[in-house]
Structure 1
Amino acid sequence: MGRVVLFEMNSQDPKRAAEFYSTVFGWKIADPNWGYQPVTTGDNDKPGIDGGISMGPSDYPHGTRIQIEVEDIEQAISKSKELGAQIVRDKMEFDDFYLAYLVDPVGIGFGLIQNK
């Protein structure tokens, strides 16, 4: 079962977004790393779903996407396409994981992540 493991908040003013969410909700927001600010929404006693805030790219300038962890990202992409999803960004490789962005058949954007 794919589980939601992260969220991404894209904004054209990520600094302002980070200030808002840290002030209103007490989220811990780390310094930017490659333009992405990691967000912690809980702790060991009361965990939350963590994520990040970044400058939204041209294909997703603002909004929130969930990241769904899968065991086989290529299989998940293929099955998603068969059922009408569109690929926004195909499988990308990072140091510890693979990532892809898709839009489901009704227009909801989401990410797929596979740990190495």
Structure 2
Amino acid sequence: MPFRDTAPAGAPIWFDLSSSDPERMRDFYAGVFGWTYDVSGAEFGNYVMFKHNGRDVAGLGGKQQPEMPDVWNIYFQTDDVETTEGRVREAGGAVVVDAFDVGDFGRMAVFRDTSGAFVSTWQAKEHPGTQIWDEDGAPSWVEMHATDYPAAVSFYKAVFNWDTEVTGDSDDFRYTVQIADAVQVAGIMDATFLPPGVPANWHFYLGCDDVDATVATVQKHGGSVNMAPEDTPFGRLAGVADPGGAGFMLTSLSDWKNA
């Protein structure tokens, strides 16, 4: 299985869910993906650490702002949070939560890019982030739907020093892949298809041995379907949401990223 104890520079390193009902959501993800979990003490707000095949896969915590929707947060690796904050500001973004220590586990910050999408950074100490990838029930890919595609590509190149490769450049499909340490780590899609008022946003994909069966299991446990399963050049994809409304994508496991 593809275990990972360190992340390439600028790569996605962690995922956690901000939820209005953490107890229900921990049971939902355990039921759908077979994740087990440990619950921290009050010092860390009863934060839930999900494990998959014995490895850390994602986290879950209560929302800090009750009026905000339930959402999955994506963290990108950094060797120095303060340096990344400086790059965010220089590139025109805004730091929403200044750098702070999470015990001895790591150091993090939250920022908003030039199009309004939120993303976090993680400087690992004792907690190396997500340790299992590209397996059934494990993260497989992250992708931004950009309302200003050229600006988004430029912003993230500046902040994370990504190399990039254009993999689609037609009116129907514009897409840039970000590369860190010679590994494809994320994608940015031209999302002019988004309805007016819908902001740019990041998505993450969980791998599935059987996308259709996983969609059915999501519904069985109280989740919903945002995008019905469909075949694409990148595998079979679907979009779903948990019972709290937090959305994520499902993808069949394939080697398209290395094609």
- TM tier, smaller: 0.7 to 0.9
Secondary structure of the residue aligned to 1:58 is coil
Match of 1:114 among 108, 115, 123: 123
CA contact (8 A) 1:14 1:55 kept: yes
| Aligned-pair CA distance for 1:5 | 1.3
Over the matched positions of the two proteins, sequence identity in percent amounts to 25
Aligned to 1:64: 72
Larger-gyration structure (1/2): 2
| Aligned-pair CA distance for 1:87 | 1.4
Q: How many residues align?
A: 112
Secondary structure of the residue aligned to 1:50 is strand
Gaps in structure 2 of 5+ consecutive residues? 1-8, 126-259
Match of 2:16 among 3, 8, 22: 8
Aligned to 1:37: 48
Normalising by structure 2, report the TM-score: 0.40
Aligned to 2:94: 86
Rounded Cα–Cα distance in structure 2 between residues aligned with 1:88 and 1:57:
13
User: Which structure exhibits the higher relative contact order, with contacts defined as CA atoms closer than 8 Å and separated by 6 or more residues?
Assistant: 1
Cα RMSD after superposing both structures: 2.0
Normalising by structure 1, report the TM-score: 0.83
Gaps in structure 1 of 5+ consecutive residues? none
CA contact (8 A) 1:2 1:70 kept: yes
Rounded Cα–Cα distance in structure 2 between residues aligned with 1:67 and 1:53:
13
CA contact (8 A) 1:84 1:104 kept: yes
| Aligned-pair CA distance for 1:84 | 2.2
